[in-house]
Structure 1
Amino acid sequence: MITPETRIRLAVPADEDALGELDRSTWSPLHAVQPAPEPPYRPFFDERHRPEDYLVAEDGTGVVVGYLRLVPATSLACNRHVRQIQGLAVAESVRGRGVARALLRAAMAEARRQGARRITLRVLGHNAPARALYASEGFAVEGVLPGEFFLDGAYVDDVLMGRSLTP
């Protein structure tokens, strides 16, 4: 389980190198629709991927071991009440210790703090571990785009999941 020393916080610009390395080291066809990153690497933060959009998990020594990107689902005023998770990564060395669950719970708390009433995400159909984690935290399948992606020689569903943030 997650240790008491593990801390979840908002990212800061100084996290860029650590987050970029974590992003590259956790790349997998289980969750990625883009090819594996190759040098030269693009910056982790840019105008669409701002530090304030990321929650960071760090261990007791301050090493970044996970992140979650939380953003408005769209720029439309009519769904300003919805936040979307657009990325979750956990270092291999701490998998199975509750870091992803802690990040999800922190994201739901942060979304509520921002005034959101719903939170959504997309997950590849073949990513059974992630789907099970999301379901265990109250996310339900709200739609499936069958065969939406052609990855590694196979068609893969895009699964839309969401949950309410209100009691």
Structure 2
Amino acid sequence: MSEPNIRTALPDDDEELGALDRATWSNLHAVTPRPQPPYRPFFDERHAPGEHLVAELDRRIVGYIRLVPATSLACNAHVRQIQGLAVSGEARGHGVGRALIRAAMTEARRQGARRITLRVLGHNTPARKLYEAEGFAVEGVLPEEFLLDGEYVDDVLMGRAL
């Protein structure tokens, strides 16, 4: 598999990103119920195209990462937060997630950020290992924060300097 092309999302990517999001839904990472028709648009008033980087292989979107300011506070403007990462099943294990994380860190630096943070479910071992490999460290744990399919799951806060 070749290297993915990483670019900023465009409004026209809405349908393809929505389909990817639905195809990759799993309670390994999602705390919301599985999406059901009629499907909402991927982009909305809270999630703009410019907050997303997409990975393309053969001109098809195979992954995305959402990068946003951690809060709207001026005193926190130096922090960016990853609030979503998805990679299609056929592209997993080929460095797409890693490429998206690295691109998000580069974009965060370009925006003037000094730190980048994220939240990941405690039982999502593959994602946690990937983030750790990219220099993220556990900075806090909210024990049993979510009840998913009858099991309590920790919310793990991770971050790193840029």
Q: TM-score range by the shorter chain?
A: over 0.9
CA deviations over 1:98-124 (Å, ceiling 9, x no partner): 000000000000000000000000000
Paired amino acid for 2:120 = V
Matches of 1:19 and 1:137 in 2, distance apart? 24
> Which amino acid in 2 is paired with 1:110?
E
Match of 1:9? 7
2-side partners of 1:154 and 1:103: how far apart?
30
2:148 corresponds to 1:151: yes
Q: Which amino acid aligns with 1:130?
A: A
Distance 1:54 1:94 in 2: 18
Give the superposition deviation at 1:3: 1.7
Deviation at 1:12, TM superposition (A): 0.3
Q: Distance in 2 between matches of 1:52 and 1:149?
A: 30
Are 1:35 and 2:29 an aligned pair?
no
TM-score, normalised with respect to structure 2: 0.99
Which of 115, 131, 144 matches 1:118? 115
* Counterpart Cα distance in 1 of 2:123 and 2:29: 8
Unmatched 5+ stretches in structure 1:
none
TM-score (norm 1): 0.96
Please list, as runs of the form range in 1=range in 2, the aligned pairs for 1:51-90 lying within 5 A after superposition.
51-59=49-57, 61-90=58-87
Structure 1 residue 71, shift from structure 2 partner: 0.1
Runs of 4+ in 1 over 6 A off after TM superposition: none
Q: Partners of 1:162 and 1:38 in 2: how far apart?
A: 32
- SS of residue in 2 equivalent to 1:19: helix
Q: Does 1:91 align with 2:88?
A: yes
Supply the distance in 1 between the matched residues of 2:44 and 2:35 (Cα, whole angstroms): 16
Partner AA of 2:104 in structure 1? A
Name the aligned partner's letter for residue 75 of structure 2. Answer: C
- Supply the distance in 1 between the matched residues of 2:43 and 2:129 (Cα, whole angstroms): 29
RMSD between superposed Cα atoms in Å: 0.6
Output the CA distance in 2 between the equivalents of 1:75 and 1:40: 31
Q: Percent sequence identity over matched residues? A: 73
